Amino acid sequence: MADIYAAQLSPSKVEVVTEWVTGQDWAADFDLAAAPLEPVTSYRFDDPAGDVGLEVHILRSGDRHIQVPLTYRGTPLDGADEHLISTMDHSVLGKRWVYAGMGDPLFRQRLDDTIATAGTAARQFRVDDEGRRIDEITEVAHAFGTGPLAGARDVEMLHQLNLDSSAEGSEGGLLLGRWDGQETSVVLAVMV
């Protein structure tokens, strides 16, 4: 389960994501000045220790949809300087170090585990400043694994999403997702 505070963030998540996306080769043809990134939804994975936020943002620029996985840590991740995107001030939790999700071993482990066990993204709850759960957040993406893929050794997150391609009845080795307004499953990650 993921606990979500009603916190002020500086810079905002969209600002952090936009800055990172502008430096990615796969987004070189995006014109974010003409079609700025707009949040669509998100999903999270559980950190069993409850220390690290593991969140994937799904956004759109015009008619194109992308996803960006991030991790939020209370202290720097040793040996991961090249994956550090930003730091942000969280009004409840304090300073957070924001990493590209695929560069964070915990994110990769939780992604692999979700796919291989046919698990699901974490349930999310709004909490007050003292950390007491208020209610469940249901307006998020439902991401789920399809089970292991024999011989696969790695997993690849898809940055650009194809919303028109149905993945219903797909074989193992996938992370699929649906959200309000997207009733067919979209491929989010693939075991390779």
pLDDT digits (tens, 9 = 90+) for 80-98: 999 999 999 998 888 999 9
**Arithmetic mean of pLDDT, 48-52:** 91
Q: Is residue 188 part of a domain?
A: no
Q: Is residue 154 part of a domain?
A: no
**Arithmetic mean of pLDDT, 72-82:** 96
Nearest to 123 by CA among 144, 106, 113, 138: 138
pLDDT averaged over every residue in the chain: 92
Q: What is the pLDDT of residues 13-26, one digit of tens each?
A: 999 999 999 999 99
Cβ atoms of 44 and 121 within 8 Å: the answer is: yes
What is the CA angle 160-84-191, rounded to 5? 40
Q: Write out 7-54 in H/E/C secondary structure.
A: CCEECCHHHHHHHHHCCCHHHCCCCCCCCCCEEEEEEEECCCCCCCEE
The number of domains in the chain is: 1
Q: What is the pLDDT of residues 22-39, one digit of tens each?
A: 999 999 999 999 999 999
Between CA 174 and CA 79 the distance in angstroms is 29
Q: How many CB atoms lie within 10 A of CB 87?
A: 15
Between CA 139 and CA 156 the distance in angstroms is 25
Which residues, 6 or more positions from 156, have their beta carbon under 8 angstroms from its beta carbon?
A: 189, 190, 191, 192
Residue located via tokens 């993204």: 121
Q: Is residue 163 part of a domain?
A: no
Percent residues over pLDDT 90 in the chain = 75
Q: How many CB atoms lie within 10 A of CB 6?
A: 11
User: According to the model, what pLDDT value does residue 173 have?
Assistant: 93
Nearest to 158 by CA among 79, 37, 71, 64: 64
Tokens of 13: 């998540």
Pairing of strands 38-45, 53-61: antiparallel
Q: Is residue 145 part of a domain?
A: no
Q: Is residue 162 part of a domain?
A: no
pTM across the whole model? 0.93
Please check the confidence at residue 169 and state whether its pLDDT lies above 60: no
The CA-atom distances, in angstroms, between 94 and each of 9, 10, 84, 108, 143 are 9, 10, 17, 25, 29
Q: Is residue 157 part of a domain?
A: no
Q: Is residue 177 part of a domain?
A: no
Q: Is residue 23 part of a domain?
A: yes
Domain enclosing residue 66, as ranges: 2-140
